[in-house]
Structure 1
Amino acid sequence: MPLFSAYQITLDDNELGNLVSIYDALPRFAWSGKTVRAVAEMTMVKEGTINGENFRIILKAVHLQKRLKVNGKVTKQVEAVGVFPGAREEFVEEALRKFSTQGNSKFNEAECSVQFSLYELQKELQSQKHTYTYAELREALNILSESSLTIQTRTADGEVIDIKSTYLPFLAIRSKNKKSSAYIDPADSDDPESAVQCKAVLHPLISRSISNGDYRLYQYATSMGLTNGIARVLFRMLSFKWRNASPSHPFTFSLIEFLSNTARGLSDRMPEDFRQMNIALDQLVKEKAIERYESTKIPKPRGKGALDYTYKLWPTNEFVTTIVKGHRAQSRREVQMIANRTR
């Protein structure tokens, strides 16, 4: 399918990937409070606005058996807990989506699927400085395939989006020696020669965006190198929205508006929000995602302190180059879509 071919990344652009509209703008992962024990804590609700439209996200924790820790040491005792998809699952999903831009993926209007081995997934994450055992990767994949995610919003043109799905609606894991696909013994999975094979279907909004040609190039390697959750969300937002990035066109945003739409949300102390925002921006500068930034305080009408802060960001040459490539890719997609409609 031509549009899916356009979605794929060439080997020359191996450090690039694709972001999709709506899905990548929403707070889909938990940054804190990932493990819960009370039934009342098994559901997490996030609300805000995206592109002027209200959104509502409902996350459901996955029931797992975890070994108890006493004084920092793991014991033989186990407890039933709820676990939300967190940073590990975010990196795993991002790696799977990178696989979807390469040759080991299949696409139709209903779904985008990827085939990979645990060894390949582990090596991909290691190349981006994220080290996980096979057991940890298997757990992350299971969390992504079992955690329910409800997304309710509208598109810019008014289309209603109301989808309830897991992050990976389908997941199959099997060993090369054809043992049960329902369970892989940890002793086997820690052996690269076992070549545990997997197939996963990505979230339906990803397939929808590919089908509509509604995606943008971004610096995958840079994103994977960001350890700060706020920095990762901001970088994805910049990659999708900053269409005219250049030294003469800085990106501006409000601290309150941005943080209120993240998984972290706003705290009850503006100085703490300001500090955390600057930590995230400092990492973006360090990782050469942006060149520099400036903040402007909006004072309270009465008394001391800030009501809000506005920020200006300037891009690096690498960021501008990726944006230009994204414009070219989008132009090619638009030509293909017109050609498809006229056939």
Structure 2
Amino acid sequence: MTDTAKKKPRRKTVKPVPSEAFRNQQLSLFQTFLGEKDGLSNAVDLWDNTPRFSISRRKQEKLRLAGGFLPISTINFQYRRFPFTADIRPARFKLYGQDGKPTGETIEYYPSAREELIEHALRKLAVEEQAGYFDKPDFRSGCRFSLHQLRTHLIEQGHSLRYDELIEGLEILALSSIEIKGEGDQEDITGSGNYITLVARVNRKDIKADPDSKWLVQFHPLITDSIQKVTYRQFNYKRLMNCRTQLARWLIGQLVLKYTNASLTNTFDMKYSTIKRDSALLESYTRGRDAIAALDGAWAEVKALGVLTSFRKAEQRSGRAKLEDVIYTLHPSVEFAAEQKAANRRQNDDRTKNNTAQQQTLESFMDQPKSTRKIT
């Protein structure tokens, strides 16, 4: 291994976030909900449909190559019935000895379940005033926070992490990158970047002295794009964070984004094969029946959390009675149907407000003398 390979990637100097990025129309729409704000957050369509946290630590150990390296992981999934791929590049860290000095060795990690919780928490913190920001001229969004604030928030959601675990999780998110490629209705879609960018961090000595020191993160471009285009969707954040399993979180996220017309008069079907393909969370099971049993358990958890009143499964078998697939028919709860109705209304209201604001901006621009017009 060369000396160059042992070094962490050099961090880019990032332009400071202007004060107006913490207070603007687009951000206000993202931070305003229809309902009790404390229990709500925003789901981002393509970003939250991408299986970006699906490689468990146990699986990573099996994939690890000599020297601590991990390969680029390519995951195939579908989004709105179009084929997509996600290429995930792991974060690389130096290893240190007991004396605190580098050993000359490195190790790599993919973002997994812990990093998923941290990212959800950061997005939740971003809906607080003077915490989240949206900088349209430089096309970026994110939030500022302290480690103490982040840790306290996660504890309140039932997830206790030490400061060193939080720092490691943030660094994995900042040093890992993901490239999402696929087709859309009218054009190809590509989104590439780190999971987050740590714009400003606090060193370990300062953290011990003052855990309330502020950090600043920048979200993936797909989140920024969603804020700009108002394509996000509100959902019950507290319920999602109460999930015991990662698969249950994924199922709830899918229902939030796809079962938008939920009501007591209609049901929703999901296939085992679709869930396995698009979540990438059942790949570790060597036997299909074990994966189905795990999925049954996750649906039971989703039901217990108040999303469903019931669900039933229908097995699809071939002529030789071989199990080919399982169809799950879901019956929503009154609470979830009401949440989806509120999410629909909020999304429609926000888009109307956004369109009105854009029209007013255009009219104001056109009313200016040509010599003074400035495009931002």
Q: Which bracket does the TM-score occupy, shorter chain normalised?
A: 0.7 to 0.9
TM-score by length of 1: 0.87
Shift of residue 285 of structure 1? Answer: 1.5
2:350 paired residue number: 333
- 1:68-125 residue CA offsets vs partner (Å, 9 max, x unmatched): 9xxxxxxx99763211101110000000000111211110331112000000000110
2:240 is aligned to 223
1:312 aligns to what?
A: 329
Indicate whether 1:214 and 2:231 are aligned: yes
**Equivalent pair of 1:34/1:86 in contact (CA under 8 Å):** no
Checking the alignment, whether the CA contact within 8 Å between 2:307 and 2:336 is kept in structure 1 is yes
Contact 1:31/1:229 (8 A) holds in 2:
no
Report if the CA contact (8 A) 1:219-1:322 is conserved.
yes
Looking at structure 1, the residues matched to 241 and 329 of structure 2 have their Cα atoms a distance apart, in angstroms, of 23
1:165 aligns with 2:193: yes
Residues 54 and 279 in structure 2, CA contact (< 8 A), matched pair in contact too: no
Matches within 5 A, 1:21-170: 21-32=45-56, 33-35=59-61, 37-38=64-65, 41-65=70-94, 80-103=106-129, 104-109=131-136, 110-155=139-184, 157-170=185-198
Q: Secondary structure at the residue paired with 1:218?
A: strand
Q: Could you report, residue by residue, the CA deviation over 1:141-194 in whole angstroms, capped at 9, with x for unpaired residues?
A: 111000011111233x323222221011343112xxxxxxxx313xx5356x44
Which secondary structure does the structure 2 equivalent of 1:294 belong to?
strand
More helix by share: 2
Counterpart amino acid of 1:248? T
Contact in 2 for aligned 1:3/1:336 (Cα 8 Å): no
Point out the more displaced range, 106-115 or 122-131: 106-115
Q: TM-score, length-normalised on structure 2?
A: 0.80
Matched AA of 1:154: E
> In structure 2, what residue type is equivalent to 1:54?
P
CA distance in 1, matches of 2:298, 2:36: 29
1:6 alignment counterpart: 29
Over 3 Å counting, the alpha-carbon distance change for 1:250 and 1:241 in structure 2 is: same
Query: How far, CA to CA, are the matches of 1:119 and 1:163 in structure 2?
Result: 32
Post-superposition offset of 1:24: 0.4
| Mapped contact 1:115–1:199 kept (Cα < 8 A) | yes
User: What SS does the aligned partner of 1:337 have?
Assistant: helix
Query: What's the CA shift string for 1:177-217, capped at 9, x where partnerless?
Result: xxxxxx313xx5356x4423200001110010111111111
- Residue number in structure 1 paired with 2:311: 293
d(CA) in 2 for partners of 1:233, 1:129: 18
- What secondary structure is seen at the aligned counterpart in 2 of 1:30? coil
User: Which one is further off, 78-87 or 282-291?
Assistant: 78-87
The answer to whether the 8 Å contact 2:132/2:144 transfers is yes
The structure having more radius of gyration, on CA atoms, is 2
Choose the corresponding residue for 1:236, options 231, 247, 253. Answer: 253
Distance 1:242 1:196, change over 3 A: same
Where is the strand percentage greater, Structure 1 or Structure 2?
1
Distance 1:194 1:97, change over 3 A: closer
For residue 20 of structure 1, the aligned residue among 26, 31, 44 is 44
> What percent of counterpart residues are identical?
24
User: 1:265: Cα distance to partner?
Assistant: 4.6
The residue type paired with residue 144 of structure 1 is L
The superposition leaves residues 237-275 of structure 1 with CA deviations (integer Å, 9 ceiling, x where unpaired) of: 100111111122111111101211112255553212211
Give the distance between the partners of 2:280 and 2:94, measured in 1 at CA. Answer: 25
RMSD: 2.3
Q: Measure the CA separation in 1 of the matches of 2:102 and 2:333.
A: 51
- Give, as a single letter, the amino acid of the residue that structure 2 aligns with 1:107: F
Q: Is the 8 A contact 2:26 2:134 kept in 1?
A: no
Q: Which amino acid aligns with 2:25?
A: P
Q: Specify the SS of the correspondent of 1:205.
A: helix
Consecutive unaligned residues of structure 1, counting only runs of 5 or more, are 69-75, 175-182
Q: 1:121 to 1:298 in 2, by over 3 A?
A: same
- Alpha-carbon distance in structure 2 between the residues aligned to 1:26 and 1:259: 13
Residue correspondences, number: 323
Contact 1:135-1:190 at 8 Å conserved across structures: no
Is 1:280 aligned with 2:298?
yes
**CA offsets per residue over residues 42-92 of structure 1, 9 Å max, x none?**
321101211111111011111224689xxxxxxx99763211101110000
SS across alignment from 2:173: helix
CA separation in 2, counterparts of 1:159 and 1:17? Answer: 29
Aligned letter for 1:336?
K
Structure 1 CA distance for aligned equivalents of residues 321 and 262 of structure 2 = 35
